[in-house]
Amino acid sequence: MLRLLIISMRPAQWTKNAFVFAALLFAHRLFDGRSALRSLAAFAIFCLLSSSVYLINDVCDREEDRRHPEKRKRPIASGALPVRLVVPLIALFAMCSLGAAYYLNTDLGGVVTGYFGLNLLYSLRLKHVVILDVMIIGIGFVLRAVAGAVVIGVIFSNWLLLCTFLLALFLGFCKRRHELVLLSDNAAAHRKILSEYSVEFLDTIIVVVTASTIAAYAIYTMSEETVRKFQTRDLMYTIVFVIYGMFRYLYLIHRRQEGGNPSRVLLTDLPLQVAILLWTLTATVIIYQSGFVMMGR
């Protein structure tokens, strides 16, 4: 039962909570011990809370999941993990997460409460509203980034919030496309909202969101506000990794029929992992280079 519970909590999906650390990097707090520990605590809170959300989704969607070729194997959908055991654990995980968030920082508690409430609305109703279903997922990523900022007491760039939202939309619409292609004529039977989409419509949206994400990030790196903050124009050199990463993901969707599980793609595709690693290392060196120079003096 414990093994099945851990599987249902989807620890692989915790990679999404890494957005909590974005503020730590861009606010020059990466090497500040106290800020790093607070960010780690916020990350842990989101991991536990997001797991409770996944359990809620699996309980609510267990009938639909049984008609999906992959999701029917999930412990709750298959009946291996009893609902009567899961429901009390959902309440326990949610209360512990919210309590820890408010204890750490009242602003963080407010953001985490908003995240949990939004996901409840999504599970109960909003996942059935076309386009809005994916936008809600995008807002969830933005709230992760905001949480990372408030827990260390900094203001997150509006441009970076926009980039986070657009990137989440990109991943969300790509996932919808994968589901539509994978399930074909049975798509609506598994997820009713898929009947409102078509591959052509999703391809159009994905093109627009891809271009918007790259453009927004490029504008951010070259804006005067960013140049003044980091005292360099070199952040623009990280754009190439963003472009490659998004194009690589599109390749995996169209040529490899992947993309239904972004976390799985991230954990298994080496070229994508290298691109993310190079972006992280390059951005870190560029952002902190002025501090390194001052330390050298």
Supply the pLDDT for residue 290: 57
Q: How many CB atoms lie within 10 A of CB 56?
A: 21
Supply the pLDDT for residue 186: 67
Task: Give the count of alpha carbons within 13 A of 6, CB side only.
Answer: 3
**Per-residue pLDDT tens for 239-286?**
999 999 999 999 998 887 776 677 788 888 999 999 999 999 999 999
| Helix, strand, coil share of the chain (percent; to 5) | 85, 0, 15
**Per-residue pLDDT tens for 149-169?**
999 999 888 999 999 999 999
What is d(CA 167, CA 164) in angstroms, rounded to the nearest whole number?
Answer: 5
What is d(CA 18, CA 291) in angstroms, rounded to the nearest whole number?
Answer: 24
Question: How many residues does this entry show for the chain?
Answer: 297
Q: How many CB atoms lie within 10 A of CB 153?
A: 13
What is d(CA 189, CA 68) in angstroms, rounded to the nearest whole number?
Answer: 9
Query: What is the DSSP-derived secondary structure letter of residue 233?
Result: S
Structure tokens at 68: 């999906």
What is d(CA 95, CA 240) in angstroms, rounded to the nearest whole number?
Answer: 42
Answer whether 41's CB lies under 8 Å from 16's CB.
Answer: no
Supply the pLDDT for residue 210: 96
Interhelix angle 106-124/132-150, rounded to 10 degrees, is 170
Structure tokens at 173: 């619409």
Supply the pLDDT for residue 229: 87
Ranges of residues in the chain whose predicted pLDDT is under 50? 292-297
**CA-wise closest residue to 37 among 96, 105, 116:** 105
Supply the pLDDT for residue 72: 80
Amino acid sitting at position 228: R
What DSSP element (H or E) covers 276? helix 270-296
Supply the pLDDT for residue 189: 62
Supply the pLDDT for residue 294: 38
Burial of residue 181, with CB atoms counted within 10 A of its CB: 0-12 exposed, 13-18 middle, 19 or more buried: middle
Answer whether 33's CB lies under 8 Å from 117's CB.
Answer: no
What percent of the chain shows pLDDT beyond 90? 55
Supply the pLDDT for residue 268: 86
What is d(CA 256, CA 246) in angstroms, rounded to the nearest whole number?
Answer: 15
- In order, the DSSP letters of 124-168 are HTGGGSTTHHHHHHHHHHHHHHHHHHHTTT-PPPHHHHHHHHHHH
Supply the pLDDT for residue 188: 61
Query: What is the DSSP-derived secondary structure letter of residue 69?
Result: T
Amino acid sitting at position 52: S
Contacts 24+ apart (CB under 8 A), 203-212: 203/177, 205/173, 206/170, 206/173, 206/174, 206/177, 206/250, 209/166, 209/169, 209/170, 209/173, 210/170, 210/246, 210/250, 212/166
**Per-residue pLDDT tens for 213-226?**
999 999 999 999 99
